[in-house]
Every structure is written in C-alpha cells, then in structure tokens.
Structure 1
Amino acid sequence: MDTQLEQIREQQKATWNKFSPGWRKWDDFTMNWLKPMGDEIIQALQIQPTDTVLDIAAGTGEPGLTIAGLASRGKVVITDLAEGMLEVACDKARQKGISNFETVVCDVSELPFDDATFDAVSCRFGFMFFPDMLLAATEMRRVLKPGGKIAAAVWGVPDKNVWVTAIMGTIQQNISLPAPAHGAPGMFRCGSPGFLAGLFRQAGFNNVSEKEITGKLACGNNERYWSFINEVAAPVVAALSKADEATTEKIKQQVFELVDQKYPDKKAALDYGAVVVTGEK
C-alpha cells in the first residue's frame, strides 16, 4: 500500500477510535436504525449452522453477532481497524452469551487469513471508507471458499439521505470547507447505482446483484437528532470544529428549520437510502 493510502488508513483508524464512545452510547439506537441493511445482508448470505463467516468493518459488532446466532455450530470472525469499536462488540457478545466469535484488528487490504477460509463475507457500511476499494474486494474474494457468498451495504446518493445532508448541507452554506479529493473516502462514494456492483464484477465475483433499501432515522425530535449526529458522525464534528459558538448555534437553528419544513410532524424521522450488493466466488 502506498504512503497516501496508508495515511488515509491511519486517519480512519484514529477517527473511529475517537468516536467509539459515542457509538457505544448510541449503540441500541444505531443498531436498530441499521438493522434493515443487516437483515438484507444476512438473507443474501443464506447462513448455515456450520458456516465460518467473516464480518468486515464490523464496528460495534453487527451484523456479525447476529450471524453468530445463525452459525451456531460454526464461527464468526469480526474485524475492524479500530480496537475501540471492537471492544464494544466484545462487551455486547458477553452480555448476550455469544461465544462462537472472535475479533481481529486488521486492515481489509491485508486480511490476515488464508485463501478460501470463509463460507461467507459481510460488510455493512465499510466500503465507502476503504482507501483502495478494489483491493479490498479482491481480498474478500481471496479469503472466500469457492461458491462462497459476499454481501455489502453502502449509503446511496445524497438526495436519498436527508439524515446527514440536512446537517452537512447547512454547514456548507455557513462555513467554507475544502472540497474532498476525487475518489477520497466519504459517505456517498459508492452511492451511484451500479458502482459497487461494478467493483464486485471487476474483483471477479459472479452472480452480482444490487437492491435499494429505504427507511427513516427516527429520532423523535430535533434535539435528539442533533445530539446523535454530533456524537457519531465524524464529518459533522470535523466541520463544526471550524465554526465559532455563534455560527454553530446558527447552523443548529437552520437545521431545525429545514427538518421541520421537510417533516412537519415534528418527529425528526429523516429519510435514508442504502444499496446492498451481493455476489459469489
């Protein structure tokens, strides 16, 4: 991996470790919100009781821990760059009495597993942040057994994801932010229809398909929405760190007005759109 990609990887690791306390705090809320994408991944993988499964960029443990319940006589390996996130996953596994799993801190571009080790590979909202997405997909294919299945979820296009664009768009109207480099890791990097499916085909996967999932981030009220995003969304926090207190308060009020205008019921249930892509080795 070249120096620039290594720098991106280390930045990602530091960011996710920094935000792991926020993800721990909001874990029940977040996992409930993201569950439809995890369910779609699990359905596509057709988990068998004796399967050995790899869950990549698993963060606080899902969908890997749910998969462990299905692969009851098998094993799930949960990986992430950030040890702080995996500590949350281990705590959750202990609370639920899940023992057929292990966590591994590693880089998706250099998976520390032998060829043809796993029956299935899952990856929920990781691809957008991988420095080299094709290398990541190729590594996933390498560790899959022949005939093994892969399923990954990514965020769709910005227009489908008001839950984050409501804040980021308002920030950009008030603060001059540098434009991200072309192809740099980011929320909507894989959002265009067919993008991740094309990457899977390029990596050598067969029977590739994609499905759109839509729903709501149901916060209940604007204050809870603001708190949640500011404790788990690194891009929001990074952008607001450049604003003084008055500007931040102005942005907050503008966001609330925008959300109320778009969702008059005042329940702050904001739209999301994701894409789940599946394939086979």
Structure 2
Amino acid sequence: MFDYDSELVRHHERLMAALDVRPGDRVLDIGCGAGRTTRDAARAAAPGTALGVDVSGPMLARARRQAEAEGLRNVDFVQGDAQTRAFSPEHFTLAVSRFGTMFFSDPVAAFGNIGRALRPGARFVQLVWQAADRQEWHTVIRAALSHGLAPSASDSAAADPFTLADPDIVAEVLTRAGFTAVDVVDVREPVCYGPDTEGALAAVLELRMAKEWLSELDAASAERALDRLRVALDAHDSGDGVWFDSRAWLVVAHRS
C-alpha cells in the first residue's frame, strides 16, 4: 500500500499550520486515508474530537491500528463517501482535507454536504493539486512509463487528481456550495517517493496511474519503461530520499 504520509510530509506541515486546531474543536477530515491528519488533529483538539472519512477500507484499517497504537481515544474513522454521507448538522467546528476532495462526482453537492455538517462560520481547510504540468512527480513518471505515447483510454477513465487545479473553479464551486471568503494560496513543496531509488520504484509501482500506464505496454516495452523509471528515480535521489517538485493550492473557506 502506497505511503502517502511519507510522500506528503512537507505538505502535511503546511496544512496543519494553516488548520490551527484548538482544544475543544470537533474536526472532520475528508478523504482521510491512513489517518495521519485525523490523528494529529485529534491530539491538538483534545478534549475535542476528530472524525476521519474515507472510501478505502484498507486505508481505514491502517488508520484505526495506528490510532490504537498511539493511544488516541478521541478519534474515530468511518467508511463512506463524504458527498452523500449523512453527517450530524452543524456538528463540526473545523473541516480539513489533504488531497481528498478532487474525486467527487458532483463537487458542489459534496461541498454542500460537508458545509451542512459545519457550524456557521466554521473553516474548511484543504490542499488540492495544481495542474498536472506543474507536478514534476507526474511528468517524470508519465514520461518514463509512457515514453511519449499519447494519453490512453485508461488515462481518461481514471480518477483525475487535478479536477480542482484552477483556483477560479475552486472558488466558484465552494461559493455555490454555500461557503464564503474563499482564499487560495500557492504552496510549493517537494514530495518524497522513498528513502532510495529501489524503495521509490517499489512505491511508484503501487500507484494506480503507474499500473494503468504499464498495462498499455507489452512485456518488452514494460521492461524498458521500468528501466527508464529506475534511471529517472535515481536522478532524483538526494541521498536523503527521492524527491520531486510539486505545486498545490491551500484553500481556506468559511461556512456561511
């Protein structure tokens, strides 16, 4: 299972600083994955609480195991789609998402549903990716595994992590969903794919995008693609991890 917490360690620091959880907060974490953001929010919110929501059962299982290992009693995780899940109205004082809001089928409906779970005036703080061509991790891996081939049908069918890359669209969607005072800040932080080249190679091959790109190739072409990928990863091995440049938007909005 891909380790998003290690990949996004620099982004996580920026997100938590902006989130500014206070004791007594009730925090809702959208697309919580393995729960790092939820657990850190729970610690900061005590005696308040934090709830993580995600569609992935395996990710949530990891989140629950880690919360138990850390002795956290004010955190919970539920499996479900935040677009449609029935939350208690006006229950949460703060909402957060670390790259978990780009995949909604109807973002206005989803953000509206999240907004109804927040108290009036509550903040919603999230990170979303900027455009694909601003993501070195995406362009380098894509070039290595596709070798310049045109995007395939599987690319268009896959979940698109860049649907909120346009800040004007982000602001429009959140405003239509009932949020106000939308602020979008440029965040440029590197992402880490592993401690060394071989670790990064194993990690990349866990990603759906990598599996889909490789599936388009015959055996010989796939082997050459993996060789190209290994060379590309090695070129980004700093001796302290394999790092790629990336760009995100830090989005803060208020529930009206």
- TM range, normalised to the smaller chain? 0.7 to 0.9
Q: SS state of the match for residue 104, structure 1? A: strand
Identity, in percent, stands at 25
**1:229 and 2:204 correspond:** yes
TM-score w.r.t. length of structure 1? 0.81
1:256–1:136 Cα change, 3 Å: same
Equivalent in the alignment of 1:37? 11
Equivalent in the alignment of 1:249? 223
- 1:191 pairs with one of 165, 170, 185: 165
- 1:178 pairs with one of 153, 158, 164: 153
The 5 A counterparts of 1:120-139 are 120-139=94-113
Give me the whole-angstrom Cα distance separating, in 2, the residues matched to 1:137 and 1:58: 16
Deviation at 1:146, TM superposition (A): 0.6
- 1:151 pairs with one of 125, 130, 136: 125
Deviation at 1:175, TM superposition (A): 5.5
Q: SS state of the match for residue 216, structure 2? A: coil
Give me the whole-angstrom Cα distance separating, in 2, the residues matched to 1:270 and 1:198: 30
Give me the whole-angstrom Cα distance separating, in 1, the residues matched to 2:76 and 2:35: 10
Deviation at 1:229, TM superposition (A): 0.9
AA aligned opposite 1:128: M
Equivalent in the alignment of 2:43? 69
Does the aligned pair in 2 maintain the 1:174–1:251 contact within 8 Å?
A: no
The answer to which of 125-134 and 192-201 deviates more is 192-201
Higher helix share: 1
1:260–1:87 Cα change, 3 Å: closer
The total of aligned residue pairs comes to 252
1:204–1:178 Cα change, 3 Å: same
- Considering only aligned residues, what root-mean-square deviation do their CA atoms show, in Å? 2.4
Gaps of 5+ in 1: 1-21
Give me the whole-angstrom Cα distance separating, in 2, the residues matched to 1:246 and 1:181: 25
Does the aligned pair in 2 maintain the 1:106–1:112 contact within 8 Å?
A: no
Residues 194-229 of structure 1: per-residue CA shift (max 9 Å, x gap): 332332122121111111222223435433222111
Deviation at 1:62, TM superposition (A): 2.4
Does the aligned pair in 1 maintain the 2:126–2:250 contact within 8 Å?
A: yes
Deviation at 1:168, TM superposition (A): 1.8
- 1:80 pairs with one of 32, 54, 64: 54
Q: SS state of the match for residue 109, structure 1? A: coil
Does the aligned pair in 1 maintain the 2:237–2:243 contact within 8 Å?
A: no
Equivalent in the alignment of 1:95? 69
Does the aligned pair in 1 maintain the 2:52–2:78 contact within 8 Å?
A: yes
Deviation at 1:80, TM superposition (A): 0.6
Residues 89-112 of structure 1: per-residue CA shift (max 9 Å, x gap): 001101111110111111111122
Does the aligned pair in 2 maintain the 1:174–1:247 contact within 8 Å?
A: no
1:222–1:35 Cα change, 3 Å: closer
TM-score w.r.t. length of structure 2? 0.88
Q: SS state of the match for residue 119, structure 1? A: strand
Equivalent in the alignment of 1:142? 116
Deviation at 1:180, TM superposition (A): 4.8
Give me the whole-angstrom Cα distance separating, in 2, the residues matched to 1:126 and 1:278: 14
